[in-house]
């Protein structure tokens, strides 16, 4: 007997250390057959949901599907970003190298609740998208460090060579708007010697010595395997991620690259 979509969603397999893999279990189903509110509720609970075996949507269909759950973040290119490696990129997102941890919307007027990727083509070695559970990272941190974080704010500066840029100031800690949990809002600095369109950070609210301590500690703590799920892409994968609890980035590609992701963000 063919399982209902509700059964398929409920029976998804857990990923490690967090997340959920949901496989279609039936031919002919597409993302449009998955109730978007149920999908986002699952993503809020699991933080990352991977859908596999569901057909992808065209750009307009994808935008309509996501708009049923909320406002869509708009950029100068529209709502859907095509993520492909370019020969001469102005921004590191389109390079073969790694993408350090960040959260979506730091330079936008509104921070999205969720973002959705669909993988049109997944060939290539490396390039895993890595998600860090900042809520659990905060929970496990020592109390003296939490107190230091609570006094820390950071100003981010980058030239607007892509769809975002300028100046943005954020406290290091935030409050999740749905769960009330404490989150870490941090974008890792980008060395201009390594990254196109580098990102510069200025730490405020604490001493310069403590600022160095905070950044050095975050460089180690956020990359601890206990808090990170690395997604290895396959053609046809759909990934929905919760943007307030998580930070995300990408590992470097290690071989030839022929991958095409599309990303849309739900406010």
Neighbour tally for 82: CB within 10 Å: 12
Report the largest interatomic distance among the alpha carbons of the chain, rounded to a whole angstrom: 64
Structural domain boundaries in the chain: 5-86+104-122+231-244+252-266
Burial class (CB within 10 angstroms; exposed 0-12, middle 13-18, buried 19+) of 201 = middle
Radius of gyration of the chain measured on its C-alpha atoms = 18
pLDDT along the chain (267 residues), means of 10: 68 94 94 98 98 98 98 96 92 94 95 98 90 98 98 96 90 98 98 94 98 97 98 97 98 89 98
Please report the pLDDT score of residue 160 as a whole number: 87
Place of tokens 């929970």: 139
Model confidence pTM above 0.85: yes
Please report the pLDDT score of residue 2 as a whole number: 57
CA distance 117 to 50: 10
Could you please state the CATH topology (level 3) that the domain comprising 5-86+104-122+231-244+252-266 is classified under.
Double-stranded beta-helix (3.60.130)
């Amino acid at each position: 007997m063919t399982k209902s979509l509700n059964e398929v969603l409920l029976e998804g397999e857990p990923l490690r250390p967090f997340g959920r893999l949901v496989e279609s279990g039936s031919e002919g189903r597409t993302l449009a057959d998955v109730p978007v509110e149920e999908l986002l509720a699952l993503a809020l609970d699991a933080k990352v949901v991977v859908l596999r075996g569901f057909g992808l949507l065209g750009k307009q269909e994808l935008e309509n599907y996501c708009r049923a759950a909320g406002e869509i973040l708009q950029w100068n290119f529209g709502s859907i970003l095509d993520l492909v490696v370019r020969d001469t990129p102005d921004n590191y997102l389109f390079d073969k190298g790694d993408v350090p941890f960040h959260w979506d919307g730091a330079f936008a007027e509104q921070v999205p609740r969720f973002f959705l990727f669909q993988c049109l083509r997944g060939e290539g070695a490396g390039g895993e998208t890595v998600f860090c559970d900042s809520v659990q990272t905060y929970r496990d941190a020592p109390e003296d460090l939490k107190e230091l974080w609570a006094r820390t704010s950071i100003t981010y500066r980058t030239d607007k060579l892509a769809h975002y840029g300028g100046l943005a100031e954020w406290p290091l800690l935030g409050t999740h708007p749905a769960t009330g949990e404490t989150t870490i809002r941090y974008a890792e600095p980008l060395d201009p010697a390594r990254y196109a369109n580098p990102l510069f950070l200025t730490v405020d609210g604490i001493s310069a010595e403590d600022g160095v301590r905070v950044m050095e500690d975050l460089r180690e703590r956020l990359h601890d395997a206990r808090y990170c799920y690395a997604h290895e892409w396959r053609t046809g994968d759909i990934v929905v991620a919760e943007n307030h609890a998580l930070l995300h980035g990408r590992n470097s590609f290690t071989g030839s690259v022929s991958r095409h992701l599309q990303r849309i963000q739900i406010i």
